[in-house]
């Protein structure tokens, strides 16, 4: 029987395959991913592929179709069942696997779903995903073979391995918001093993996300956690996204810590064991982070946004720690270098439980800056990268100090501003940061002027935030 399959044009993304279930993503796509990815693993001399799924309503049927496709390519599938994405990554690193596929819609709305992949121990992304699409269309697969599937529960081993690195010295009062995401069952077991008092909100895995959307980078989604932290008099609040590869933190006074702020807390701790180590953060991070890493004796490195890109750079440089504004935190110190919100939570709780200051005191001790949240402007898919190139060319011609690691990040006496094209949506992403409101206004004016020169009219209303 011949095989050929075309994916919806919007579903093949930079870091994963993703779409709206029943509209741009179907069970036939899941089968095709299994059939082609299984073939790629087979051609590399492998057979064993770990598979997991999140708690979305569409995940069981998509997982079943995926496994059928993998088995049709002769794969020996190890199914770890429902759980967080990092638990699948853990299985890929600790079980004898040649690849891994996670069925997850991550932090997207409930009608979305998708697939994250690993080939060997490395992320499968970018050109790999585009090639998978081309191979599916051309029907380039290994001859049909009969594979197998076995169930394996790795959750107890995963929890035990996380707990191995718990190093707190005092008991904490912690509120957790699982957001009805895929970490629910694992989190329930993990908090039983952690000392102190633990209250879990929205612990039940529910793919309809009845409490709020599971994205801890959006302040509105943290309101329930903030209220609970204040009511319980907790030391800290911890939130996860839908598949628990991203973390959000709230201090003991109910203030949100942003990704670049809690990365400072983690970096200072890691640099005690790894003096001079390279700490990587994405281009959206505050200058405060890079300055504080340098003060703590580390080498700060600004890198491209995207969990697969950062994982690859960490492996290349042997970096002990990396993070993104989006809350992806990567520990290569004692851990495996993948983004894991559960592991990051236990490590940061350890730091807090050894500190003489509260999380709010830590936050207040950081240099105060004013900045915008992440600003997003609609821009056609075929235009977004061109706009960034045009802006970069004008800035360089005028002698501005520009970093083009990922988009353009411009440093001026007032601070910095960033413009980059999203790898996953038809939008441009911008941020600006200064030490004063007046400086921030000037930076936003410069950014607006550059966008206008490329034919865009941005709206900056409500675009200030203390940080």
Q: Tokens 């279930």 — which residue?
A: 21
Q: How many domains does the chain have?
A: 3
Question: Does one domain contain both 393 and 318?
Answer: no
Which residues pair with residue 81 across a beta bridge? 52
Domain assignment present for 1: no
Q: Which of 39, 106, 286, 355 is catalytic?
A: 106
Domain assignment present for 245: yes
Question: Does one domain contain both 184 and 135?
Answer: no
- Domain extent for 334: 157-365
How many Cα atoms are found within 13 Å in the side-chain-facing hemisphere of 143?
0
User: How much is the pLDDT for 463?
Assistant: 52
Contact 98, 41 (CB under 8 A): yes
Residue 57 pLDDT more than 90? Answer: yes
Question: Does one domain contain both 28 and 92?
Answer: yes
Q: Considering 118, 135, 153, which residue would you say is the last residue of a domain?
A: 153
Confidence band (pLDDT; 50, 70, 90) for 466? very low
3-state helix, strand, coil in the chain (%, to 5): 35, 25, 40
Residue 241 and residue 204: Cα distance in Å, rounded? 14
Mean pLDDT across 383-404: 94
Question: Does one domain contain both 127 and 199?
Answer: no
Question: Does one domain contain both 109 and 48?
Answer: yes
Q: Is the dihedral of CA 158, 43, 37, 384 positive or negative?
A: positive
User: How much is the pLDDT for 460?
Assistant: 66
Residue 467 pLDDT more than 70? Answer: no
Question: Does one domain contain both 308 and 203?
Answer: yes
Convert the pLDDT of each residue in 157-198 to its tens digit: 999 999 999 999 999 999 999 999 999 999 999 999 999 999
CATH number for the domain that contains residue 410: 3.30.310.50
Residue 398 bears catalytic tag: no
Q: Considering 334, 365, 396, which residue would you say is the last residue of a domain?
A: 365
Question: Does one domain contain both 218 and 346?
Answer: yes
Three-state SS for 335? coil
Residue 373 pLDDT more than 90? Answer: no
Convert the pLDDT of each residue in 380-392 to its tens digit: 988 999 999 999 9
Domain assignment present for 2: no
CATH number for the domain that contains residue 145: 3.40.120.10
Q: What is the radius of gyration, based on Cα positions, of the chain?
A: 22
**Pairing state between β 415-421 and 408-412:** antiparallel
Q: Tokens 């995963």 — which residue?
A: 158
User: How much is the pLDDT for 445?
Assistant: 94
Which residues pair with residue 408 across a beta bridge? 419
Domain assignment present for 57: yes
Catalogue the E-assigned strands of 399-456.
401-403, 408-412, 415-421, 427-434
Question: Does one domain contain both 184 and 315?
Answer: yes
Q: Considering 120, 153, 186, which residue would you say is the last residue of a domain?
A: 153
Domain assignment present for 461: yes
- Neighbour tally for 286: CB within 10 Å: 25
Residue 455 and residue 449: Cα distance in Å, rounded? 10
Residue 405 and residue 89: Cα distance in Å, rounded? 28
Question: Does one domain contain both 313 and 215?
Answer: yes
- As a whole-number percent, the residues of the chain with pLDDT over 70 amount to 98
Cβ neighbors of 399 (< 8 A, separation 6 or more) are: none
Residue 381's Cα: distance from chain center in Å?
22
Domain assignment present for 279: yes
Domain assignment present for 442: yes
Residue 80's Cα: distance from chain center in Å?
21
């Amino acid at each position: 029987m011949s095989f050929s399959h075309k994916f919806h044009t919007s579903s093949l993304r930079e870091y994963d395959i993703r779409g709206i279930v029943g509209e741009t993503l179907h069970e036939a796509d899941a089968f095709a991913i299994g059939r082609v990815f299984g073939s790629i693993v087979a051609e590399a001399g492998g057979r064993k592929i770990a598979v997991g799924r999140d708690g979305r309503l569409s995940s069981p049927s998509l997982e079943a179709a995926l496994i059928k496709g993998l088995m049709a390519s002769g794969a020996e599938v190890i199914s770890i069942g429902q759980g967080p994405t990092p638990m699948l990554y853990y299985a890929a690193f600790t079980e004898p696997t040649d690849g891994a596929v996670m069925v997850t819609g991550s932090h997207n709305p409930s009608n979305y779903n998708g697939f994250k992949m690993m080939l060997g121990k490395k992320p499968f992304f970018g050109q790999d995903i585009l090639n998978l699409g081309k191979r599916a269309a051309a029907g380039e697969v290994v001859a049909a073979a009969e594979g197998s599937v076995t169930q394996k529960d790795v959750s107890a081993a995963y929890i035990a391995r996380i707990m191995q690195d718990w190093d707190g010295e005092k008991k904490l009062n912690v509120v957790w918001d699982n957001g009805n995401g895929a970490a629910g069952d694992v989190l329930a077991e993990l908090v039983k093993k952690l000392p102190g008092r633990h209250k879990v909100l929205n612990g039940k895995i529910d793919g309809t996300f009845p409490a709020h959307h599971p994205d801890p980078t959006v302040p509105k989604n943290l309101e329930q956690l903030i209220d609970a932290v204040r009511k319980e008099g907790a030391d800290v609040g911890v939130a996860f996204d839908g598949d628990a590869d991203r973390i959000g933190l709230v201090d003991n006074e109910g203030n949100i810590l942003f990704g670049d702020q809690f990365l400072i807390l983690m970096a200072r701790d890691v640099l005690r064991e790894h003096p001079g180590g390279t700490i990587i953060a994405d281009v959206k991070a505050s200058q405060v982070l890079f300055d504080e890493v340098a003060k703590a004796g580390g080498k700060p490195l600004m890198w491209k946004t995207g969990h697969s890109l950062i994982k690859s750079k960490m492996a290349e440089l042997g970096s002990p720690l990396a993070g993104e504004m989006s809350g992806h935190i990567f520990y290569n110190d004692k851990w495996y270098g993948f983004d894991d919100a559960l592991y990051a939570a236990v490590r940061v709780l350890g730091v807090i439980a050894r500190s003489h200051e509260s999380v709010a005191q830590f936050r207040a001790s950081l240099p105060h800056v004013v900045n915008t949240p992440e600003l997003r402007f609609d821009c056609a898919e075929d235009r977004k990268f061109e706009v960034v190139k045009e802006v970069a060319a004008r800035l360089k011609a005028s002698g501005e100090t520009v970093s083009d690691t990922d988009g353009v990040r411009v440093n001026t006496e007032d601070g910095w501003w960033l413009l980059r094209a999203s790898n996953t949506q038809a939008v441009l992403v911008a941020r600006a940061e200064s030490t004063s409101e007046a400086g921030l206004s000037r930076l936003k004016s410069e950014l607006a002027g550059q966008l206008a020169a490329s034919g865009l009219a941005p709206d900056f209303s409500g675009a200030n935030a203390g940080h």
